[in-house]
Amino acid sequence: MLVPRAPFEVARRGGDDGVTLAHHSPSGVRLMVVQPNPLVKHPEDGAPARLALGPKTSTLSDVLSFHEETRLVTSWSIVARAESDAAGGGETFRCAFPSGTTLWSTPRNVTWPFEMTTSGARRDEITYVQGPFSPSECPSLHELVGEGMRRGEEGQIDGLQGKCDWLELHYVFDAADWTQRRHIVPLDAELVALVTSQATAANAHGAFQNAGEIVASLALSIEPSSA
């Protein structure tokens, strides 16, 4: 389990299972690369991953605030703390880490723990997770239609705890056509999350595919198995 030092940037490279972690320190970027070994299926077979430190990076603590060994798994996932009164503020959620995406840390005053961008997209073309909320606290999809937005397609995605409703919203920002997709994701009988993905019209398809991976895998998790 790897916990990056904020402010951070964590990129899952497309085409392989390598992950690059970067800490944006006052004295410059410190980074490391983690490359899983696909031949190692059990701990007794050897080291499950290879580590490489970047320029001016001398130790793991230059990039990571915490790391520990955990049970061996064969895929990357995102684990983040749920900052919500409904969840008691102490639970975590877990979801997929899609290939070809980058995670960015957020300031403390932002109510979601990370923002995810798709390779080649602008920094403000993001996917993020809010909640958990009780169903009565979470806004309905109808309430999420803001001024200047028009409704588009809507549908459902299968989540781990049931059907996840989504709605597309179209609007113009900075002289460009944008599309936003909002998803309401059941987490258990008493909690839901709100997953938002927004992108320019040209990049919306890829962004929504990656957001769909998060929605389909999102779950509350007290004991994460990988990060």
What domains can you pick out in the chain, each with its CATH number? 1-74 (no CATH), 77-94+120-227 (3.40.1000)
Q: Helix or strand or coil: residue 206?
A: helix
Give the pLDDT score at 224.
39
Burial of 78 (0-12, 13-18, 19+ CB in 10 A): buried
Q: Which residues on neighbouring strands pair with residue 193, listed in sequence order?
A: 185
With a pLDDT cut of 70, the percent of the chain lying above it is 90
- 68 compared with 164, residue with greater pLDDT: 164
> What tens digit of pLDDT does each residue of 15-60 get?
778 899 999 999 999 999 998 887 777 767 777 788 999 999 999 9
> What tens digit of pLDDT does each residue of 135-187 get?
899 999 999 999 999 999 999 999 999 999 999 999 999 999 999 999 999 99
- CA atoms of 76 and 10, how far apart (whole Å): 12
Residue 68 confidence class, pLDDT cut points 50, 70, 90: confident
- Bond preceding residue 132 cis, omega within 30 of 0: yes
Give the pLDDT score at 177.
96
Query: pTM (2 decimals)?
Result: 0.87
- Mean pLDDT, residues 199-213: 96
Of 28, 18, 24, nearest to 49 (Cα)? 18
Q: What's the mean pLDDT when you consider all of the chain? A: 89
Computed on alpha carbons and rounded to an integer, the radius of gyration of the chain in Å comes to: 18
Q: How far is CA 208 from the centre of its chain?
A: 13
Residue 72 confidence class, pLDDT cut points 50, 70, 90: low
